[in-house]
């Protein structure tokens, strides 16, 4: 096993909140129904940061869809990634078999760190 990529992203919670209020259809383009159910702006901002961090860990290839990187919680509440479509295909092409995800939000900023391993 080895590290294939690392991605980090930060999102201003208020900025995302304003964008979602201004363009209601944006939530459906960025987030899966399960992610939208998380509801709180801080949670959505952290999930958006995770999607950006995944793209960075993959080397920012074109053609990725926002909903193809989904943040879910396991039974213990720990966040994890579920990949679909083009994101899953790109990860497989790069030999990525394991993802590590850390999310945080404080002071109006949401942060995500992603590590991709082969």
CA atoms of 25 and 77, how far apart (whole Å): 28
Residue-wise pLDDT for 32-59, tens only, equals: 999 999 779 999 999 999 999 999 999 9
CA atoms of 38 and 32, how far apart (whole Å): 10
**Total number of domains constituting the chain:** 1
The CATH number of the domain holding residue 16 is: 3.90.470.20
* 51, 69 Cβ separation under 8 angstroms: yes
Closest by Cα among 46, 54, 49, 52 to 90: 54
Q: What is the value of pTM for the model shown?
A: 0.94
Residue-wise pLDDT for 72-108, tens only, equals: 999 999 999 999 999 999 999 999 999 999 999 999 9
Number of Cβ within 10 Å of residue 69's Cβ equals 29
Parent domain of 32? 3-117
Whether the pLDDT of residue 61 is over 90: the answer is: no
CA atoms of 72 and 109, how far apart (whole Å): 20
């Amino acid at each position: 096993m080895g590290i294939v990529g690392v991605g980090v992203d930060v999102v201003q919670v208020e900025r995302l909140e304003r964008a979602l209020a201004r363009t209601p259809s944006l939530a459906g383009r960025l987030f899966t129904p399960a992610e939208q159910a998380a509801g709180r702006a801080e949670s959505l901002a952290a999930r958006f940061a995770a999607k950006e961090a995944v793209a960075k860990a993959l080397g920012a290839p074109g053609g990725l869809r926002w909903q193809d990187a989904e943040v879910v919680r396991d039974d213990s509440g720990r966040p994890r990634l579920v990949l679909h479509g083009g994101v899953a295909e790109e990860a497989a092409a790069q030999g990525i078999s394991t993802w590590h995800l850390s999310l945080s939000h404080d002071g109006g900023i949401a942060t995500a760190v992603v590590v991709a391993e082969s």
